[in-house]
Structure 1
């Protein structure tokens, strides 16, 4: 069966840097599964999987605009240091959960700090980067009615 709308797909992937370093992936664990055509993975990768079959291996470059998007300067937040008073070990590079203006929790990375402010970048870590995927399609089947109903 080929990957088409509403197919349940299972695949292994490695997200690699230009130098071939694996930045993220599934090969040391469980494969990634999704229902095709429902925006559960980045759009450029979903488009590249269209029409593929189990057993296919391929490499795909996904431009930032079809991956995690371009970096958004408005997602770099300057926050008062006192908001982090209960957080021991605050340092550059630390990932933390913060609440935005709408009350939604967002994951951010501390990119700068001083005695008064903490700068947190809530862009996805791969935003603004082209993505290089190494893909192995493991299985493809029609999604069940229950799986489709769970998509919301």
Structure 2
């Protein structure tokens, strides 16, 4: 039985960046389960499992456009430090949730701090990155 759209699959995976750094893996955890075409994983990952058979292992390369998209400079936020809560003590690399222009919560990463401003990046952490995955298909339902 090969994987097709609307199937629910279970996979083990390891995701790496072009320098070989592992950014995510199911090793030591339960397998990832998702419905193909359900939008639960990035589009390139869904495409990668279509046509696989149970027990098959394969490597796939996902360009950033089929992963988390290009890094968008419009998603960079600059705010005066006096707007940061006094008890926060932000540091570069810290993840913060901030209010967006439409009342939504944006997950951001502190990218820089100057004497007067804090600079936040609201892009997905892997935006602009091509991704490589090793996938093993365990089950199809």
Fold shared, TM-score > 0.5 on shorter chain: yes
CA distance in 2, matches of 1:6, 1:83: 46
> Structure 1 residues 34 and 63 mapped into 2: Cα distance closer, same or farther (>3 Å)?
same
CA distance in 2, matches of 1:73, 1:87: 29
Computed over aligned residues only, the root mean square deviation of the Cα atoms, in angstroms, reads 1.3
CA distance in 2, matches of 1:114, 1:33: 43
Q: Report the alpha carbon displacement of residue 54 of structure 1 after superposing the two structures with TM.
A: 1.4
**Alignment correspondent of 2:126:** 126
For 1:59, what is the secondary structure of its paired residue?
A: strand
Q: Report the alpha carbon displacement of residue 90 of structure 1 after superposing the two structures with TM.
A: 0.8
TM-score, normalised by the number of residues in structure 2: 0.93
Task: After the TM superposition, list the runs of 4 or more consecutive aligned residues in structure 1 that deviate by more than 3 angstroms.
Answer: none
Unaligned runs of 5+ in 2: none
TM-score, normalised by the number of residues in structure 1: 0.87
Contact 2:17 2:130 in 1 (8 A): no
Contact 2:18 2:130 in 1 (8 A): no
**Alignment correspondent of 2:15:** 15
Q: Report the alpha carbon displacement of residue 45 of structure 1 after superposing the two structures with TM.
A: 1.4
CA distance in 1, matches of 2:48, 2:119: 36
**Alignment correspondent of 1:35:** 35
For 2:96, what is the secondary structure of its paired residue?
A: strand
What count of residue pairs does the alignment treat as equivalent? 141
Contact 2:17 2:129 in 1 (8 A): no
CA distance in 2, matches of 1:9, 1:31: 9
Unaligned runs of 5+ in 1: 142-152
Q: Report the alpha carbon displacement of residue 99 of structure 1 after superposing the two structures with TM.
A: 1.2
Deviations 1:2-34 (A, max 9, x none): 211211111111111233331111112121111
> Structure 1 residues 9 and 76 mapped into 2: Cα distance closer, same or farther (>3 Å)?
same
CA distance in 1, matches of 2:87, 2:94: 11
